[in-house]
Structures are given as structure tokens and as C-alpha cells.
């Protein structure tokens, strides 16, 4: 068996969702950092009452926000793991590979082959290419020519 154009397109729809989640996790973590810095800046007069308030309110809140930031930052890792799992579990058999031994790069080699055969390309500096390179460590997808696989797949909605 071999992958089809439909399989490659479906792969990029799933990778687009994963790229969206990875970016969302990072931006939300940045927003939480701003909130945490705002909390830390609340008590700034140096009065004794500020110290008590700081210890009873700000310190516990900052600790909770720090935990939330750490959790939110892990979304990128989870998105990459999801992409790896999808590629191996859903596409390995279709590509004629053993899902128990296939690597993500093996699947992406097959996807790249389908893309080349069918003149399918990604935007060279697009979000999908960036996600695949940075999160999956794969950098040989076709990126020159007429772009038929759009970055609009990087969304939280069904495409």
C-alpha cells in the first residue's frame, strides 16, 4: 500500500491542529506570565501591611500561576506527541510500514513522496513547516512551487 493525496492532506489537517495547539499553549503561557508579574507588582509601598498582604495573597497566587504556566507550556510537547502518534498509528499501515517499528520520519518521508508526486507544496516559512521542523525534527517536506497545502489548516476548527 502507499499513501494517497488524501492521506497527505489529512496528515496536514491533523498537523495543523497540533501546530495551533502548540502556538496557543505558548501564547497563553506568555499571558499568564504577564498576570504573575502584575501580581508581584501589587504591593509596592513598602508598608508593613503590604508585606502581610503579599505573604497571604500574592505569594500563593503567584505559586498557582507558576503551576498553570508550567502546565500550559507542556501543551507544545503534548501537541508534538499527538502529531507523532497520529502519523505512526494512522498512516504507517497505509504507507506499508509496521506501526510498531515505524518512526515519524519514515511516515513523513512517505508524505513528502506523495507531495512531490502530486506537486503539493507547503509555504516555505509557514506555520506548518515551522511546526514540523521545530516539533517533529523533520525538514525535508517540499516547500517550493504553488502552495496547495495551506497554512489555514492551522486552526482550532474543522477544515
d(CA 159, CA 157): 6
d(CA 93, CA 20): 26
Percent of the chain surpassing pLDDT 70? 91
DSSP 8-state symbol, 126: S
What tens digit of pLDDT does each residue of 6-56 get?
A: 998 889 999 999 998 888 888 888 888 777 777 666 655 666 667 777 778
d(CA 28, CA 33): 9
Per-residue confidence (pLDDT) for residue 110, from 0 to 100: 92
| Residue-range domain boundaries for the chain | 5-149
What tens digit of pLDDT does each residue of 79-93 get?
A: 999 999 999 988 999
Q: Is the pLDDT of residue 106 over 90?
A: yes
Counting runs of H as helices and runs of E as strands, what totals does the chain give?
A: 5, 0
For the whole model, what pTM was predicted? Answer: 0.76
* Rounded mean pLDDT, 1-6: 85
Q: Which of 66-70, 88-92, 93-97, 113-117 has the lowest mean pLDDT?
A: 66-70
Amino acid at each position: 500500500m502507499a499513501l494517497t493525496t488524501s492521506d497527505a492532506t489529512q496528515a496536514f489537517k491533523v498537523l495543523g491542529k497540533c501546530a495551533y495547539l502548540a502556538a496557543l499553549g505558548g501564547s497563553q503561557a506568555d499571558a499568564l506570565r504577564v498576570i504573575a508579574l502584575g501580581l508581584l507588582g501589587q504591593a509596592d509601598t513598602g508598608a508593613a501591611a503590604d508585606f502581610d498582604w503579599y505573604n497571604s495573597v500574592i505569594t500563593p497566587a503567584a505559586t498557582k500561576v507558576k503551576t498553570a504556566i508550567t502546565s500550559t507550556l507542556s501543551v507544545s510537547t503534548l501537541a508534538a506527541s499527538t502529531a507523532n502518534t497520529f502519523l505512526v498509528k494512522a498512516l504507517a499501515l497505509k504507507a506499508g510500514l509496521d506501526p510498531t517499528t515505524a518512526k515519524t520520519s519514515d511516515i513523513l518521508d512517505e508524505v513528502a513522496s506523495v507531495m512531490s508526486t502530486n506537486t503539493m507544496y507547503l509555504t516555505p516559512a509557514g506555520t506548518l513547516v515551522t511546526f514540523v521542523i521545530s516539533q517533529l525534527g523533520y525538514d525535508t517536506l517540499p516547500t517550493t512551487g504553488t502552495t496547495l497545502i495551506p497554512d489555514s489548516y492551522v486552526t482550532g476548527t474543522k477544515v
